[in-house]
Amino acid sequence: MRKINFIIVHCTATPAGREVSVAEIDCWHRQRGFNGIGYHYVIGLDGTVHSGRPEGLAGAHCRGRNATSIGVAYVGGTLADGTPADTRTPQQKAALRRFIAELKRRYPGAEVRGHRDFAAKACPCFDATAEYAAL
């Protein structure tokens, strides 16, 4: 198994309220030259946790950190005009907290960070490091 140092939180950078499937993200990522969906998990608008890339494989979600991280994305992250915004539904907020706590139990040394902590972008459009610091 890979050594996991980070659980990195992302958004799909899609408008609030628009559901996006793992298959759709897989298609986007393949169009960008990835060998499949880059995230290990995707949290739908209703809070359902969907599996993406198998955990045993390095992700394709955060340059320089893929080999030692788990990528978790929530669906959303922008307003209708494309402006970055925390668009998480109450169900997504609850599911993210529960699921990240579960991942922390499995990978106790892993730090929870937002993609923006490693790249010049707004993703995941909230301060994941602060929000999950107590987990």
Torsion angle, alpha carbons of 8, 12, 15, 18, to 10: -110
Catalytic residue among 11, 62, 123, 125: 123
**Is the separation of the CB atoms in 71 and 38 below 8 Å?**
yes
Catalytic residue among 29, 39, 41, 132: 39
Catalytic residue among 41, 115, 125, 132: 115
Structure tokens at 11: 């958004």
Cα separation of 57 and 76, whole Å?
25
Active site residue 74: no
Active site residue 132: no
Active site residue 39: yes
Active site residue 115: yes
Active site residue 123: yes
Catalytic residue among 10, 29, 40, 61: 10
**Residues labelled as active-site residues:** 10, 39, 115, 121, 123
